Structure 1
Amino acid sequence: MSNLSHAPASHISNQFKWGGVLLALGIVFGDLGTSPLYTFKAIIGEKVISETLVFGGVSAIFWTLFFQTTLKYVLITMRADNNGEGGIFSLYALIRRYGQWVLWPAIIGGSFMIADSLITPPISVTSAMEGLKVLNPSVPIMPITIGILVVLFLFQQSGTNRIGVFFGPAMVIWFGMIAILGITNLSGNLYVLKAINPMYAYDLVVNYPGGLWVLGGVFLCTTGAEALYADMGHVGRRNIQVAWIFIKMALLLCYFGEAALLLKYQGQHLTAIDAFYGLVPQWFLIPSIIIATAATIIASQALITGTFTLFNEAIRLNVWPKLRVEFPTDMRGQVYVPSINWLMMLGCIGMVLHFKESSNMEAAFGLSVTVTMLMTTVLLSFYLYTQRVPKPLVLLVFLVFIWIEVTFLVANLAKFAHGGWISLVIGLALIIIMYIWFAGKNLKARYKRLVDLNKYIPTLRILSNDMEVPKYATHLVYFTMAEKPDKVEDRAISSILHQQPKRADIYWFIHVEVDDKPYTATYTSRIIEPEEVIYVKFTLGFRIVPRINILFKKVVFEMVKNNELKIESKYFDAESGNILGDFRFVILKSFLSVENSLSLWDNMIMRLHFILDRLSLPDDKAYGLDDNNVIIERTPLILGKTENITLTREY
């Protein structure tokens, strides 16, 4: 087996560097870090400000950050890393070999996290812009927010490598600012700190009218925890854990400062004061809005790039149709998916136009994240079980976090009619697409017939040396689903022999396998018949885009260099590895034959699957092949047993 990757042996998750901590501040904490802009606004809502509401709200925030963010994600979930990579699909890849059922929590969680990516940029940027209303209530917020979002999405195609170095310092300024604002407002009001007592949160939920529904607003303080786990591979677990100490202190100081401020306005509504910008002195208001806007843009940027990674993983794990994936920078793991970028931009603009204000977006925001966290808890508990963690401890972890998250889910469902339904509709639509694609791929694989390749070797040898047959290609390459070199699809043999015979000097059969590790890049080659038939198997991680055109040329060059293969061509330069000879790839594209006997459900799934297939990226583009050396052949796919018709000849 040979390695195609130049990745370092030790992963970033095992390294601690202060530069990594700074990078973590700029990449993974944006969503969590900007939550003080809107969390208390969601808790108070249209209710009258009271001591029970404020003390109970800040107490619930304190313990939510402890249980959900610190305990569940920073200390437990981040240990479930897949070679340093995190996120719900990375977690799924770790445990999918233990049972097929784990696909469903992964699909549901991934779908609702994508739905969350359509609401986080609008609510974050809108919340920052609403600070302008403190200066002038008539300032048009929507056009400014939409303008910022459009610029943000237009910038994605160039990547974040250039400005990424500014993200860390910018977020240090943000967290430093909210900490100082919190301390300033806590001065002389330290009695607010008694809300650390969890009984205040209990009193809010049990005794305050509608207290359970208030938790829907409290939940917004931890919505970025799932994104924190997903971005772990970019900066490393230890760097995130160290950075969280500083960030949590800044967040708590800010939240308690907001609580101290709100207690001064008991008996009034939030129209009298902005929970966050009320902390800011008048002379510092404009700079604070600028800093907050920068922080929300960074938070949105982190979630957008995380969404691109999520789609790339879904494509590689066969739960999403193929899309064009690009590499805007040399940063490891960073990808850009053009079609998703523009759809997200339109979705975010639609959210702003529909909801208009950040307070109207809160219901749609919390609901999707709660579902994702629930699915992560299910997968995490099963992962701990597979790692032979004591069963009582696994059960304790499962029950504690399921209880917390189900409570938050119920609280968020109260906002269903006020916008939460949008998140559910988007999430369900994504779940349906993922299921149709995955089920259709499985049905096709089930009915594709493999034959013994060795049986056809003599015929292929004769054809390869038959000078009376016009040469079709010097090197003819087929993709195969066969995991072993002695098997191949019957339709590939039919393409070579039974239609117009395709004479070639060498027949290549390539199998691409997705590995459960994120950045695997290896291959094995097997010479079935010297100078006639060769089988190559690529094993690529689920975060590696299969650029087969480049990888295959590298394999051929190495085989020539090792004297395993001879290419007698004056156009081949063994020193540089440039192959300008005749390499032709044949893509066998299936279409649903009319000769099928499927159940009503399977027939519907396959028809919808082929509709998605027509809309998805063509196979040659998905494999990174050049147009000038690719042939597409369409072959009928017959599923199930066709009807046996008796035909009688009449004279």
Structure 2
Amino acid sequence: MKKHFHGHPLTAAGLLVALGIIYGDIGTSPLYVFKAIIGSEPIDPDLIYGGLSCIFWTLTLQTTLKYVIITLRADNKGEGGILSLFSLVRKRGLWVVFPAMLGGAALLADGMITPAITISSAIEGLDIFYPGLQTVPVVLVIVVALFSVQRFGTAIVGRLFGPVMFLWFSMLAVLGFSHLLSEPAVLKAISPHYAIQTIISHPNAILIIGAVFLCTTGAEALYSDLGHCGLKNIRISWIFVKLCLLLSYFGQGAWLLGHEGVTLDGGNPFYKVMPTWFLPYGISIATIAAVIASQAMVSGAFTLVSEAVRLNLWPKVRIVHPNLLKGQLYVPSVNWILLIGCILVILVFRESARMEAAYGLAINISFMVTTVMMTVFLLQRRVSKFLAFSFLVVYLLIEVVFFVGNVSKFSHGGWLTLLITAVVFTVMLCWWWARKIKNRHTRFVTIEKYLPIISEIGMDTSIPLYASQLVYLTSANFDSEIEESIIYSIIRKKPKRADVYWLVHVDVTDAPYTGKYEVTHLIQGKVIRVDFRLGFRDEQRISVLFREVVQDLVANGEVDIKSNFETLRRHKLDGDFRFVVLERVLSSSPEFSFPERIVLDIYSVLRTFSLSEEKGFGLDSSFVTVERVPLMAPVQPQQGKLKRMK
């Protein structure tokens, strides 16, 4: 099997791709950040300087230093993201899985809110031409269209993302710079003095902090899409992006300073800085940029769930590859969950100003999770404890302050973010925990003492031939062990005669792409174990992978798969293959603790919505037999013996 290579050299094309893929969320923040900071209050110069200072230092400390300079170093064979980071550090302790699940849940919650707020903010610009226009129906149409086209893939549209986003950022820079020239004094807001003064003395400091945080939402995407763009392309393109963003924010600030004492009355400074003749073009470009930002978030959610499935942190769901373009995924169940959640957000809040309360809280949680896990990574890489814990303390302090600002909006919409995050986290936790319970109650036996009888069954013509090639999926990590249920299935339940017995084991490695296998002949040419070592981003299409392995073994003369039926063998036809999947069923037992019984009940519900074992491993159902195997909690020995009645 071929090993994937994910190097991304610094090129003009790579920089353009980076602009199109990863900066949609953070790049559309100027649509709503200053509007959220000002709110319904009269324009106050102190607030403008303080807000700009907070924005400048947030983008510098949070996005540039934490993510672009430090976190991007934590690449897993070139791949990034919260679950890639988890794969790097999960051997440091069982506890690491909990922040990983929390971070993943928060990112999925953000996937429901990002399309709603970005598209709403862009479309609300139409209110300038059509006062009182009901924008909700327009936003709903765009959102439904966005999620409806996911099944076809985004390869064609994706080629346009880079140039369109370059146009978007250039527009931000030009508009911002034109107003900055008329009020250059606004640049003094770069001094951290104004940020500190605003945080300490402004009566609405908590709300302002929550609004300022919106300027850095999307920083997580820089890390998540590391594998698509490469470290150098992200770092260099960020210089251009940050410059354009700052010019836009400072340009809006300059315009606001020229309107001291005036209230926005629902207006948006982003559109106020545009010349009247340019507004139709500006609104159109903003809408396209908002759709691109939403598309990037949706694609990121698909990638996140596909990784979680392979790491056993999410129920097995159908994953589709709409085209041959690498990285293109479509997860139908997640697509419709996100669509329903997005529609719910739009209908509940109706306008972007109210969505701002729900937005940011989920990303804030993922930021704190990344900080904790990055600290573990730094310690693992033997960075000095002083530097590692300094990173932890500084960024947790910053992010806790932002968290307080976001939580202050709990009753205004933050509750929805936390509710969605809690539901997704519960799903991940129960799925992971239930599998731990099932594995704990799976009994293994030494395979060596059963090999002679398996060999004899294979040659006993008094037993009807079950299959020429009989394949079992095993979870035993060592070739010396096997599940007792497999032995029961072959020998005791109904003896299964086969020409060759195969044991297939799948091990998901910490690397994103591995694509290796190992073959062990327990009985030469008769009982063969195949161990697949696949990365957490590799597709687990076991039918295809197993066929490739068998072809290699046949070519090497290690196994004969020709049918032993005289007629078929005379015509040199291969024998049939039969996969047996043992579905482990946990029954309710008083021996399980109360939390475990709750988890198993939730797990049983999730199982009804997840793929079966054979579909989850990509097996052809026409060649699969499913056997249900009951797994019981260990029963405590009875105190007394049963007595026979006369």
Q: Which bin holds the TM-score, normalised by the shorter protein?
A: over 0.9
Q: Quick check: 1:383 aligned with 2:380?
A: no
1:243–1:482 Cα change, 3 Å: same
Q: Quick check: 1:306 aligned with 2:300?
A: yes
* Equivalent in the alignment of 2:569: none
Q: Quick check: 1:171 aligned with 2:165?
A: yes
Paired residue type of 1:113: L
Structure 1 residue 45: Cα displacement? 1.2
Q: Quick check: 1:229 aligned with 2:226?
A: no
Q: Counterparts of 2:600 and 2:344 in 1: how far apart (Å)?
A: 32
Contact 2:40 2:266 in 1 (8 A): no
Q: Counterparts of 1:104 and 1:594 in 2: how far apart (Å)?
A: 26
Q: Counterparts of 2:374 and 2:507 in 1: how far apart (Å)?
A: 25
* Equivalent in the alignment of 1:38: 32
Q: Quick check: 1:515 aligned with 2:509?
A: yes
Contact 2:562 2:573 in 1 (8 A): no
Structure 1 residue 79: Cα displacement? 0.4
Give CA-to-partner distance per residue, 1:424-462, whole Å, 9 cap, x none. 011111111111111111111111111111111111111
Q: Quick check: 1:345 aligned with 2:358?
A: no
Paired residue type of 2:4: A
Q: Quick check: 1:606 aligned with 2:603?
A: no
* Equivalent in the alignment of 2:2: 5
Structure 1 residue 604: Cα displacement? 2.2
Q: Counterparts of 2:439 and 2:468 in 1: how far apart (Å)?
A: 30
Paired residue type of 2:644: R
The correspondence for 2:448, drawn from 442, 454, 459, is 454
Contact 2:468 2:563 in 1 (8 A): no
Task: Give SS of 1:163's match.
Answer: helix
The correspondence for 1:22, drawn from 12, 16, 20, is 16
Structure 1 residue 231: Cα displacement? 1.0
Paired residue type of 1:618: S
Gaps of 5+ in 1: 572-577
1:570–1:275 Cα change, 3 Å: farther
Moved more, 258-267 or 300-309: 258-267
- TM-score of the two chains, using structure 2 as the length reference: 0.97
Q: Counterparts of 1:625 and 1:5 in 2: how far apart (Å)?
A: 21
Q: Counterparts of 1:579 and 1:411 in 2: how far apart (Å)?
A: 71
Q: Counterparts of 1:580 and 1:206 in 2: how far apart (Å)?
A: 78
Contact 1:548 1:625 in 2 (8 A): yes
Structure 1 residue 254: Cα displacement? 0.3
Contact 2:563 2:573 in 1 (8 A): no
Give CA-to-partner distance per residue, 1:377-418, whole Å, 9 cap, x none. 000011001101111111221111111100000011110000
Q: Quick check: 1:648 aligned with 2:643?
A: yes
Moved more, 264-273 or 490-499: 264-273
* Equivalent in the alignment of 1:399: 393
Q: Counterparts of 2:104 and 2:401 in 1: how far apart (Å)?
A: 21
Paired residue type of 2:641: T
Paired residue type of 1:103: V
Query: How does 1:324-473 map onto structure 2 within 5 Å?
Result: 324-473=318-467
Paired residue type of 1:410: V
Matched length: 639
Paired residue type of 1:463: I
Contact 1:234 1:332 in 2 (8 A): no
Structure 1 residue 596: Cα displacement? 5.5
Moved more, 267-276 or 203-212: 267-276
Contact 1:596 1:642 in 2 (8 A): no
* Equivalent in the alignment of 2:552: 558
1:257–1:594 Cα change, 3 Å: closer
Q: Quick check: 1:632 aligned with 2:630?
A: no
Q: Counterparts of 1:579 and 1:174 in 2: how far apart (Å)?
A: 62
Contact 2:315 2:431 in 1 (8 A): yes
Structure 1 residue 333: Cα displacement? 2.8
Contact 1:12 1:236 in 2 (8 A): yes
Q: Counterparts of 2:460 and 2:220 in 1: how far apart (Å)?
A: 61
Give the superposed CA RMSD.
1.5
The correspondence for 2:496, drawn from 502, 522, 525, is 502
Give CA-to-partner distance per residue, 1:1-60, whole Å, 9 cap, x none. xxx23523xx325x2111111000000000010000000011111222100111110110
Contact 2:15 2:233 in 1 (8 A): yes
1:273–1:343 Cα change, 3 Å: closer
1:594–1:605 Cα change, 3 Å: closer
Give CA-to-partner distance per residue, 1:223-273, whole Å, 9 cap, x none. 000122111111111101010010000000000000011112221211174
Contact 1:553 1:579 in 2 (8 A): no
The correspondence for 1:486, drawn from 480, 488, 491, is 480
Paired residue type of 1:308: F
Q: Counterparts of 1:205 and 1:271 in 2: how far apart (Å)?
A: 25
Structure 1 residue 294: Cα displacement? 0.8
Paired residue type of 2:211: G
Paired residue type of 2:176: G
Give CA-to-partner distance per residue, 1:172-217, whole Å, 9 cap, x none. 0000011000011112210111110111111111121122321100
1:138–1:210 Cα change, 3 Å: closer
The correspondence for 1:218, drawn from 212, 215, 224, is 212
Structure 1 residue 643: Cα displacement? 5.0
Q: Counterparts of 2:454 and 2:262 in 1: how far apart (Å)?
A: 86
* Equivalent in the alignment of 1:593: 587
Task: Give SS of 2:210's match.
Answer: helix
Contact 1:121 1:297 in 2 (8 A): yes
Task: Give SS of 2:468's match.
Answer: strand
- TM-score of the two chains, using structure 1 as the length reference: 0.96
Q: Counterparts of 1:129 and 1:113 in 2: how far apart (Å)?
A: 24
Contact 1:595 1:642 in 2 (8 A): no
Contact 1:49 1:263 in 2 (8 A): yes
Structure 1 residue 640: Cα displacement? 2.6
Give CA-to-partner distance per residue, 1:472-492, whole Å, 9 cap, x none. 111111111111212110000
Query: How does 1:125-204 map onto structure 2 within 5 Å?
Result: 125-204=119-198
* Equivalent in the alignment of 1:575: none
Query: How does 1:92-131 map onto structure 2 within 5 Å?
Result: 92-131=86-125
* Equivalent in the alignment of 1:253: 247
Paired residue type of 2:301: T
Structure 1 residue 606: Cα displacement? 2.2
Identity of aligned residues (%): 45
Task: Give SS of 1:518's match.
Answer: coil
Structure 1 residue 593: Cα displacement? 3.0
Contact 1:597 1:643 in 2 (8 A): no
Task: Give SS of 2:629's match.
Answer: strand
* Equivalent in the alignment of 2:313: 319
Contact 1:325 1:545 in 2 (8 A): no
Paired residue type of 2:283: I
Q: Quick check: 1:619 aligned with 2:616?
A: no
Structure 1 residue 594: Cα displacement? 5.1
Contact 1:121 1:299 in 2 (8 A): yes
Q: Counterparts of 2:560 and 2:575 in 1: how far apart (Å)?
A: 13
Contact 2:32 2:268 in 1 (8 A): no
Q: Counterparts of 1:374 and 1:191 in 2: how far apart (Å)?
A: 35
Contact 2:115 2:290 in 1 (8 A): yes
Task: Give SS of 1:591's match.
Answer: strand
Contact 1:52 1:208 in 2 (8 A): no
Task: Give SS of 2:518's match.
Answer: strand
Q: Counterparts of 2:436 and 2:73 in 1: how far apart (Å)?
A: 32
Task: Give SS of 1:280's match.
Answer: coil
